[in-house]
Structure 1
Amino acid sequence: MAKSQSLTFLFLLLLISFLASVYNSIAGAKAASFTLTNNCGYTVWPGILSGAGTAPLSTTGFVLNSGESRSVDIPSSWSGRLWGRTYCSTNQSTSTFSCVTGDCGSGKIDCSGSGATPPATLAEFTLNGSGGMDFFDVSLVDGYNLPMLVSPTSSTASSGGNCTATGCLVDLNGLCPSNLKVILSDSGGQSVACKSACDAFGKPEFCCSGAYGNPNTCKPSSYSQIFKNACPRAYSYAYDDATSTFTCPTGVNYIITFCPSNPGQKAGENNPQAAGVPLINDSMVFLGPASGITLGKTWRFAAVTSAASLAAFWLQF
């Protein structure tokens, strides 16, 4: 009789353990949801790269037409980055898919474990990290190709602290110095992306490498300051942590918007998550050129029109 009771008890323990593991796997299967919205006047092909040791998502790349949104479920403790690819096409002879900016080199719409070729605006996430917090940022360390806004959607986002929207709303392609511009050959000189100084020149002091591989020796350059002045909340160089990393309690969902400051569209209709970001805001104000960088007439005009477009956008509601 005692043996029978022991076996029953052991069976119950195994059953409880099994049910607990099933529950945890289900609960952990969807820690958060990312909603990607294309507010640009053109098609964007988002790319997604999971970090080392992190399970890949159900998709690593897809097409997002102008005005479209798509949600992606994110597992517990996921880390990785995502970005928008632009000027993409498929070669009719080879059936190879490629993009002028943000290309991941996979030859297809899915990036399949490959990252973005610089320059590209990046959104970076570590979910359920230290202290049960999500860590996220928008980075221009690898350069810039299009405006991006990352917004937490939970009510905790309005409770103060560092759980708030971040991004780069300014069109840096119009503000990019000539020696950092990526020019599309048939665009009549139009800049479609803006390189980082590291990518453009490859010097250790710009790349924070070698003798410059620590925060004491690697300092902001006049080039990274262009990015920082335009988008103070975004990473402008490798050790720009203090003003560029944001945190939310684990379980928050996020909206990632490409071209959030499109002045031709109503915020309330197409970009509701941006409604809580005021006009006079650290992440949205163009502060002018960096020290040592002189703006030409065209560049100054671009800065003025970019600021005017931002003002027009926010004043619509």
Structure 2
Amino acid sequence: MANHLLFFQERVVGRVKAVAASSPVPWDHFVLLQMSPIESKLTCFAMSRHCQNIDSSNKQRIAQPPRSNGGQSDVTFNFINQCVDTIWVGSTPSIGILDPEFGPENLVIFDGPDRWSGIMWARTNCTTNSSGYFSCDTGDCGTGEEDCQGPAPPYPVTLLNFTINNPTVSYQINLNHGWNKQVRIRPDGGTLVGGSGPCPEVDCSGNIQDVCPSSLVATGKNGLAAGCFSPCDGYKDPKTCCTGDFSGPQACQPSQVSQAFKGLCPQAHTYPADNDPPIYTCKGAAGYNVTFCPL
């Protein structure tokens, strides 16, 4: 194991290093780990005298940053991209991800703030034109830049809702504004607030494109399907948007399309009055594994 090397990039300072597993390296807030998909042995990653095993054959076991002494530490997010394509993570308000580009087979360890409430999402098929303008087929921020600083993205997009009030974190997957990538949120340990047992994972690993009506298909620059609009955003009628006479938990009912969404992603919220499952609140988790295109 002493001969194993882990290649990683410190995006904050823009330096690239190859470090022997036995060599301690400083934690610098944001680290991109790039592991060979063929490596099957456990590799030990040392961070500021803190060492944990990383099983590169199982991307769910991820090194955690060291906790600060005294007071509450920040909340750790472990972003894992198991998609075949590169994604760019967006958030609003900005959670502070300095380099949002995550290639295939990458995992990113990021310490978020201990107080934050907002949404995260994946941007897909992003390109920069000859004028330097950055844009994406889905989840585009509309600023022409990789870093999202503006309002919520145009739909359709799979939304991850988080409210961080350390040591508690509330989380859900929301398809009320459509879908563009499969995703899973898996807390690492912790206990469920207001319930018993561990913090549940929420998963939307089904391919919503398989049940998307042609009238709701969103296409990308290449003319291929890039996502699926929600019935509300696609049809804009009060019944599917649960407005006017259809507002409120009794009058707001799922449409056939949102029921099809639910069939593939039963743990996601698929229409405005959907509260099954409830928005979970977790306390004491070591981190939150956010996996795009979970296997």
TM-score normalised per structure 2: 0.70
Structure 2 CA distance for aligned equivalents of residues 213 and 250 of structure 1: 36
Task: Please give the per-residue CA displacement for 1:38-81, whole angstroms capped at 9, x wherever unaligned.
Answer: 1000100110113xxxxx43227610001111122122232111
Q: CA deviation at 1:248?
A: 1.0
Structure 1 CA distance for aligned equivalents of residues 168 and 247 of structure 2: 27
Please state whether the residue corresponding to 2:71 is helix, strand or coil. helix
Moved more, 209-218 or 96-105: 209-218
| 1:184 aligns to 2:228 (yes or no) | no
Structure 1 CA distance for aligned equivalents of residues 116 and 286 of structure 2: 13
Structure 2 CA distance for aligned equivalents of residues 181 and 58 of structure 1: 32
Highest Rg: 1 or 2? 1
Unaligned runs of at least 5 residues, structure 1: 1-23, 51-55, 262-317
- Paired residues for 1:164-183 under 5 Å: 164-183=200-219
Structure 1 CA distance for aligned equivalents of residues 287 and 126 of structure 2: 29
Please state whether the residue corresponding to 1:136 is helix, strand or coil. strand
Distance 1:116 1:61, change over 3 A: farther
Distance 1:165 1:207, change over 3 A: same
Q: CA deviation at 1:26?
A: 7.5
Moved more, 171-180 or 196-205: 171-180
Unaligned runs of at least 5 residues, structure 2: 1-67
Structure 2 CA distance for aligned equivalents of residues 72 and 26 of structure 1: 20
Please state whether the residue corresponding to 1:200 is helix, strand or coil. helix
Structure 2 CA distance for aligned equivalents of residues 240 and 246 of structure 1: 14
Q: CA deviation at 1:223?
A: 1.3
Task: Please give the per-residue CA displacement for 1:267-317, whole angstroms capped at 9, x wherever unaligned.
Answer: xxxxxxxxxxxxxxxxxxxxxxxxxxxxxxxxxxxxxxxxxxxxxxxxxxx
- For 2:111, the aligned partner's letter is D
| 1:112 aligns to 2:149 (yes or no) | yes
Task: Please give the per-residue CA displacement for 1:12-43, whole angstroms capped at 9, x wherever unaligned.
Answer: xxxxxxxxxxxx99835x43111111100010
Structure 2 CA distance for aligned equivalents of residues 71 and 58 of structure 1: 13
Q: CA deviation at 1:114?
A: 2.7
- Paired residues for 1:135-284 under 5 Å: 135-154=170-189, 156=191, 161=197, 163-184=199-220, 186-187=222-223, 190-261=224-295
Asked if 2 retains the 8 angstrom alpha-carbon contact of 1:60 and 1:113, the reply is no
Equivalenced residue count is: 226
Distance 1:232 1:244, change over 3 A: farther
Asked if 2 retains the 8 angstrom alpha-carbon contact of 1:128 and 1:250, the reply is no
Asked if 2 retains the 8 angstrom alpha-carbon contact of 1:89 and 1:98, the reply is yes
Q: 1:123 aligns with which of 152, 160, 168?
A: 160
Please state whether the residue corresponding to 2:272 is helix, strand or coil. coil
Asked if 2 retains the 8 angstrom alpha-carbon contact of 1:135 and 1:246, the reply is yes
| 1:73 aligns to 2:111 (yes or no) | yes
Please state whether the residue corresponding to 2:258 is helix, strand or coil. helix
Distance 1:60 1:174, change over 3 A: farther
Instruction: Kindly report the root-mean-square deviation, in angstroms, between the aligned alpha carbons of the 2 structures.
Output: 2.4
Structure 2 CA distance for aligned equivalents of residues 194 and 112 of structure 1: 24
Asked if 2 retains the 8 angstrom alpha-carbon contact of 1:105 and 1:114, the reply is no
Asked if 2 retains the 8 angstrom alpha-carbon contact of 1:123 and 1:137, the reply is yes
Alignment partner, residue 79 of structure 2: 36
Structure with a larger share of its residues in helix: 1
Structure 2 CA distance for aligned equivalents of residues 175 and 168 of structure 1: 14
Structure 1 CA distance for aligned equivalents of residues 71 and 240 of structure 2: 43
Moved more, 246-255 or 109-118: 246-255
TM-score normalised per structure 1: 0.66
Alignment partner, residue 311 of structure 1: none
Please state whether the residue corresponding to 1:100 is helix, strand or coil. coil
Task: Please give the per-residue CA displacement for 1:220-278, whole angstroms capped at 9, x wherever unaligned.
Answer: 111111111111110001111132422211554101010002xxxxxxxxxxxxxxxxx
Asked if 2 retains the 8 angstrom alpha-carbon contact of 1:139 and 1:234, the reply is yes
Structure 2 CA distance for aligned equivalents of residues 185 and 88 of structure 1: 10
Asked if 2 retains the 8 angstrom alpha-carbon contact of 1:32 and 1:73, the reply is yes
Alignment partner, residue 45 of structure 1: 88
Q: CA deviation at 1:203?
A: 0.7
Asked if 2 retains the 8 angstrom alpha-carbon contact of 1:36 and 1:256, the reply is yes
Structure 2 CA distance for aligned equivalents of residues 60 and 179 of structure 1: 37
